[in-house]
Structure 1
């Protein structure tokens, strides 16, 4: 399967840059998720890779072949790029096999060859024996697999997924995540997976490209994004991290820096190239906060949300009511709205200064 290389791609609509100088490289056989809030540019990026949008600047290569640039725009049908859409787009009057083999029929592939390739594609997605059924007689998950088989039957070099689980219920989504992961493990297909769902991206992808306002903010493994975000946006976006102001009290040493946060001294993880600045920002997670009896940071409780077995607490530091903190406490839950408590921030990450990528 082919790799994908995107170099300095910009896509402009009128005066707006939907994509701004985006560069990333997907390795052969890699599963990459493109993640970001609505309007971040991820769908435009998918359409540019597929050939539905012509890039304004930069270059896109599939298997080292230029398919998009200012002077080159290979048509979608000649890019050997397959797409799996979120709405399946199956023809209800055709059988499963007819849906899967339609593109081969249009291409006038011989019937015997066509039937063999359809059979092989259905086997890849565990739908052997269901070729005679109509889409209406399949479950949502099975229809999604038919859409995937239809994509694979044309032997694409690269497969794009456009939020394929967005229309499924939560239980079916979990099941399909397992199936996509198993499919990738078996076939080693190069995949670019567009999604707004963080849990989905974390569960499936080898690496995740986080986008915002048309720019690539960080491209890293799920663990790196969670533990070592390189910008305020990534820190706050991934798993609802809390970004807080702090003072950097020491230079990096063995991957750690001394910081002063909300009047308390602490030792946080930091990058080896962390700049020596007095004013810094840190990312903490709910799991980094614990309640203490004394000598902690005083907080006022805004809201307590019971979640079975414990509660999610929303609070703010008494000295900084403009900041919001969230943390979890186990049963028995005794805190109430309007109470005060003392907390300790056990761990955190100093967000690097400078280039977020």
Structure 2
């Protein structure tokens, strides 16, 4: 089965398209799921769409017409991107899984009350003629979970069976980590901002509303301000126990300004250096108490050498840091697209696509809802046993 996994993250810069082939292998009671990444593309957003998405991610009120417009345009972009990927590769997908762009993830006193992703799946189903799975977080939220991090399922299946606790970390706009141990239950949660606040300062420094700290060059020019860092680290979110999740509803420009007013006159490059240290410090503070023996990292943050160096320094020599490319043969930039494809494969076969002990839900749930393609929706007979592990075909 070939599944197209689509992901747009909290950095809101591009659409990831992964064409992934799956098949079960091994004994019926402990099957392994083989995952073969057949093709991957990163489709940049047009400037007008990107700026409108970024506007939706700010805490200010927006007109409903903007929400509706982004929902349409992103759905159309997803349809065009999958059609182009299939046309260029000669592959045909059996299912499209579209995460959509998260524009709200509302958390009140640790409880997720609602989550909203845009990117109308009907445009994809109409263009491709195949079923589309979308809205992957809401059912877990309805079951009492955080709806995040969805990566817990893929990470668990990749890491299970090790002798020591191991972790996978994704550095997007928000950082999320999964820790799999042979002695305790798997845990996964958002550690805090990864690039979200760094991007805010990069845009202020350059004046470019879509800028980011390319190659960590801006942070490398500055010095960490320890007083500002201590102030940022005092945020109550970091002390909350898992399961927990967060987003740009908390970590945005006005949030940063509250802290900067208490530390006036700082050089902008010192601020971005401090925010880079904040990301590394909060990841380390989340991982080290769990006794992790190594971390495999994915996401846009892997392309920031200053951030990666800070992360290695905070974790120490006893916790080696690699990328998912190095650890599993899974390209770090394609991991979240592959994740979407995996969740689609599970839901298609009637299997829970969330890990309740990770999200805090009362039970595992099938992720998302299906939009039929050109034909009536016909799901296969549900599997009675899910995969025990995931193997990447390299």
Normalising to structure 1: TM-score of the pair?
Answer: 0.27
Say which structure, 1 or 2, has more relative contact order (CA 8 Å, 6+ apart): 2
Which structure shows the higher helix fraction?
Answer: 2
Normalising to structure 2: TM-score of the pair?
Answer: 0.25
Which structure shows the higher strand fraction?
Answer: 1
> Which structure's CA Rg is the greater one?
1
